[in-house]
Structure 1
């Protein structure tokens, strides 16, 4: 009896994909990074967000191009593997695992920290374990269920930001010039660029939707559209409150940089808005965890299906749910490291993995479209050479800004991946050689006569 092959269920349309991408990105991250971004850019958040958007835009274009070229799940791993070289594709996928594996861990850790602050009698580890279990169960049930939950919680975040902006508008009195946040020239460009390098991380997550290509209807059209919509919505949700805040409060100081977002909300909306802020932020963290577990389990599945990771473990789907249940379980178990790891360390892993993948996706556009496909008209040269080179250069500069410990950890992770890949390929060659030897020199047979 032939074994029926189980495949991912193709059911996602455009807006469910958008909601999953926005859920990973988490619009409320605007408030989480507010203090460090404000301090680094010396208050020029509007200009810094605009520059960050321009930087991310080039990389987003590259993801859109590659998702049309290779409309399969796997994200940067698949694009680099098919356009440049399988070995390099594995290393990029291995680096991307840092981003994807640690993102749900960060969600669990942050969830535990905030809820423990609200309910001090309940230890943070209790909340971490509870969230882990809930995320696993929902993801096992299917991508559509996750998308529907993400839709509700993303809209809650959007509504909160709109309410926050409404309070800001009420505080607009004695505005000197409506374009002041955009045209000021007192703060040097280098300072604003430094702020933009921090703010770029608010856009991380748009790429996660490429891991869901095989579950998306008409992925060639849907995924590129979704990427464009996600970063467009994000820049509006970030730029408008930044602009209004600079108009209403051109000069601010904070007691604690890490909680500056909460201080701004309290300053503008009082205790009522700040209480709502905490609730929405917790929901946002939950949604980000939900989306990141979905994307991570799909990346592991594709790498397992390609035998880059052990296929019997990572390359299987549940016959009923059509989801990578084993991978979801592995991601959830890995996320229990939130019980012992610091938030700062986890963020370093995410940053190195994401930026490394971004660089190589930009380069894969050049190799595939400009070099291999020889698409070199004037317009194609701009789109397939100039844009991705600009994106790769800017992302490379951001990668260089990571501290030495982050770069060292990332390089050690890559060395571990290289060692594993070398061992795996040698093992496969040994198995293949043994199989050939068996066929060439079959074992002797003996007769009972």
Structure 2
């Protein structure tokens, strides 16, 4: 027998941990290498993270108004449907299912496996477990699928199990990250710090070997936009808490508050982590970190020393464990919240009917499992990296549309109840829209490989929507 409604069991702390835990995966430990190769200076490295954090917090506090107006499962899908029309909402839900959520789950799962391989070399991505022609499967891919299946199963047992994992792992990784940052700042190398900050605002490309070049004309703006692909991807998924509105106590208050608290905490952590990187690593070592693992290089610089021959470096061991905790907790939050979007779409007759049913534990079990299947296939495909290149572009497009929806709803539904109003309206939401559109436009110009595939995936949703609509009408006859 299935339940007919969600159970509101999540507190403000739980909701805040879902926001922060879903945001902090593996990005902060890796993407600063690519950012430095694009901008070539400490000042611009910090500016990229600051701009991303500023945009994220503006978006989050703006979503607070929408979450208070529509405190029910589905979150951003519902906001877009109510602001525009069902098609726009569906295009978001389709993109979410096809690449945004499932692709992110796959990438975070593989990141977990990559760092587990430091402790258990047998699960390395460099090994081949078996192959069929040119199709090869690594132990890392298999382990990532096993973790996704495990977390999916745990979350089918009820939201209480998922929230325990989420809160525990998020608090653990926040405390360990703050600890690493503090220890790193105490271990600051004055000569490194001075060298990194002596010419902090020269925007230039930097190669992994530390050699630099010059940008012609406006190409520097394209470099900043390209840099922000990584930082924005590291800062997405905060909106996941809006998907589970039906399971949060006092959602009209707690969703908006958790959005602000979660994004603010993560922004502080991200900026502080990058200050720490520049305090212990020369800029060229950030740019040239092995496999872009900046945090591992920083941890080695802080802790130094090695164990017996063949044993792990102390810093590498510390970071491997931290990133395993971070990615495991991150994927739990993504898996827990994602299925609620498919549930709401199914209730609108626009997704598999069975996805709109809750099991005896009051969770959308079928939605959790189909999300698991797609994410697992993306792990096997080996193409999750390519898919994620377009996530930042597609996500920001939908963020812009959603925040623009605040202006639309203020005009079309002026008398609607608004327990909370967007902070700084209309200036801050408008500023986000301008910054978001600028980011997307620069990517279209300078990084088209990040944009057109993403747009194609979104547009494929249009015929699928009309097919779903026709099936819905057939069912109603």
- CA change 1:75–1:298 in 2 (3 A) is same
2:363 matched residue in structure 1: 323
Say whether residues 1:102 and 2:103 are aligned partners.
yes
Q: 1:41-440, aligned counterparts within 5 Å?
A: 41-42=39-40, 43-44=42-43, 45-97=45-97, 98-116=99-117, 118-122=119-123, 123-172=139-188, 174=190, 184-187=200-203, 190=221, 195-249=227-281, 251-253=283-285, 254-256=288-290, 258-270=292-304, 271-311=313-353, 313-318=354-359, 320-337=360-377, 338-373=379-414, 383-400=424-441, 401=443, 403-430=447-474, 432=476, 435=477
* Conserved? CA contact 1:115–1:127, under 8 Å: no
Instruction: Select the residue among 10, 13, 20 that pairs with 1:12.
Output: 10
TM-score, normalised via structure 1 length: 0.85
Q: Pick which of 25-34 and 246-255 moved more.
A: 246-255
Q: Quick one: distance in 1 between partners of 2:427 and 2:247?
A: 32
Q: Give deviations 1:416-441, integer Å, cap 9, x for gaps.
A: 21101112223444555xx4xxxxxx
* Conserved? CA contact 1:47–1:181, under 8 Å: no
- CA change 1:365–1:352 in 2 (3 A) is same
Q: CA deviation at 1:83?
A: 1.9
SS in 2 for 1:330: helix
Q: Quick one: distance in 1 between partners of 2:356 and 2:325?
A: 31
Structure 2 gap ranges (5+): 124-138, 205-219, 305-312
* Conserved? CA contact 2:12–2:258, under 8 Å: yes
TM-score, normalised via structure 2 length: 0.81
Q: Pick which of 92-101 and 166-175 moved more.
A: 166-175
Q: CA deviation at 1:117?
A: 5.2
Q: CA deviation at 1:214?
A: 0.5
* Conserved? CA contact 1:77–1:89, under 8 Å: yes
- CA change 1:72–1:250 in 2 (3 A) is same
* Conserved? CA contact 1:370–1:385, under 8 Å: no
RMSD between aligned residues: 2.9
- CA change 1:381–1:370 in 2 (3 A) is farther
* Conserved? CA contact 1:27–1:237, under 8 Å: no
Larger radius of gyration: 1
Q: Quick one: distance in 2 between partners of 1:72 and 1:223?
A: 11
- CA change 1:152–1:111 in 2 (3 A) is same
Q: CA deviation at 1:186?
A: 3.8
Structure 1 gap ranges (5+): 436-449
1:446 matched residue in structure 2: none
* Conserved? CA contact 1:21–1:207, under 8 Å: yes
Q: Quick one: distance in 2 between partners of 1:11 and 1:175?
A: 52
- CA change 1:430–1:248 in 2 (3 A) is closer
More helix by share: 1
Q: Give deviations 1:239-271, integer Å, cap 9, x for gaps.
A: 223224434556442253622332122122223
* Conserved? CA contact 1:49–1:199, under 8 Å: yes
* Conserved? CA contact 2:301–2:315, under 8 Å: no
* Conserved? CA contact 2:148–2:372, under 8 Å: yes
Q: CA deviation at 1:182?
A: 12
Q: CA deviation at 1:281?
A: 0.5
1:440 matched residue in structure 2: none
* Conserved? CA contact 1:71–1:213, under 8 Å: yes
SS in 1 for 2:249: coil
Q: Quick one: distance in 1 between partners of 2:237 and 2:9?
A: 21
- CA change 1:177–1:353 in 2 (3 A) is closer
Q: CA deviation at 1:34?
A: 2.2
* Conserved? CA contact 1:35–1:257, under 8 Å: no
What is the aligned length? Answer: 424
Q: Quick one: distance in 1 between partners of 2:166 and 2:199?
A: 37
* Conserved? CA contact 2:19–2:239, under 8 Å: yes
Q: Quick one: distance in 2 between partners of 1:332 and 1:297?
A: 10
Q: CA deviation at 1:413?
A: 1.9
Q: Quick one: distance in 1 between partners of 2:8 and 2:467?
A: 35
* Conserved? CA contact 1:95–1:357, under 8 Å: no
